[in-house]
Amino acid sequence: MADHRSELEHVDVQMIEVGEQMLRVGIKRGRPGRPPLLLFNGIGANLELAEPFMCALHETEAIIFDIPGVGGSPLPSLPYRPSTIARLSARLLDQLGHQQVDVAGVSWGGGLAQQFAHQHANMCRRLVLAATSPGAIMVPGSPRVLWKLATPRRYLDQGFMRRVAPQIYGGAFRDDPDLVVKHGAAMSGASNVGYLYQLLAMAGWTSLPWLWSLKQPTLILAGSDDPIVPPINAQIMARIMQNARLEIVDDGHLFMVTQPARTAAIIEKFLAQATA
C-alpha cells in the first residue's frame, strides 16, 4: 500500500511533441476508473507551482503542461489565442489516450479552461474554475496590483517577489514571509516573450457571450481576499452559468498554493459526484 501511495504522489515530467510544438508535460497518476483532471496554470507559472496540489489529489490522475514559452516548453513559432491552446490540449489528450477529462483552470488558466469546455464540450465532463473571471469584461482588481502583473519581473527578481507578493496575492501571503520564499523557489517562470504571448492571448478575450451555454457541472472557487480577481467575478459567473455552484475560500488569489490539501479535497469531492 505504501508503494502504491508514493506512486500516486509523484509527478512524472516528460517532453511530448504535439504537432510542431514541444510541451513539457507533468502527469500525476491516479486510480483507474475516472477521467483525469487537465489543469491549466496561471500566467507565467511553470508546472512545479501546481505540484503540491496535484500530489494532494488522493484518487485523481492529473495532467498539466507548461504553456509554450513558459517553464520548459519552448516558445511557439507565432503568438496564439485561447482557442489555439484549447486545440493543442485536445491533441495532447488524444496522444495520451484520453477521450474525456475533467478540466480545471487557475487565474489566467481559468480562461483556457472555459475556452476548452466551450470548444471541446464533448471532451470536458466537469469544470473547475479557480480565482478566475470571464476575461476582459470583468470587475478588475486594484490598478496598482494589475500594473505589477504586467511584466514577469516577479518570476525573475526574488527581491521584487518578496516585496510585492503580499500585495498582489493577498491571503496567507500577507502574514507568512516563509511562504513567499518557498513559492519563489519553485518558480522558473516565463521568458519575456513567452509572458508577452500570454498577455496577448487574453487581450480582448471574454467568455461572456457564451458562458451561459456551458452545460458541464461547474465548481467555481474564489479567494475572499483576492487583490487580482475580486470574488464578485465568481459570483457573477455562478449566476450566469447553467449548472455552477460557488465556494468562497478564506484566503487570497493563490489558495491552491497555500492550501493544496484542502483545495484538492474540495475538488475531488466535486469530481466524484454523480452527474445528474
Task: Give the domain CATH number at 162.
Answer: 3.40.50.1820
- In the annotation, is 107 catalytic? yes
pLDDT reported for residue 269: 96
Structural domain for 102, as ranges: 2-272
Q: Which of 1-15, 64-78, 126-140, 199-213 has the lowest mean pLDDT?
A: 1-15
Question: What pLDDT, in 10s, does the model give residues 136-186?
Answer: 989 888 888 887 777 777 777 777 888 888 888 999 989 887 887 777 777
Q: Which of 52-56, 73-77, 189-193, 263-267 has the lowest mean pLDDT?
A: 189-193
Question: How many angstroms separate the CA atoms of 138 and 133, rounded?
Answer: 6
Q: Of the listed 73, 89, 107, 207, which one is catalytic?
A: 107
Question: What pLDDT, in 10s, does the model give residues 194-253?
Answer: 999 999 999 999 999 999 999 999 999 999 999 999 999 999 999 999 999 999 999 999
This prediction has a pTM of 0.92
1 pLDDT exceeds 70? Answer: no
Question: How many angstroms separate the CA atoms of 106 and 191, rounded?
Answer: 20
Tally of domains in the chain: 1
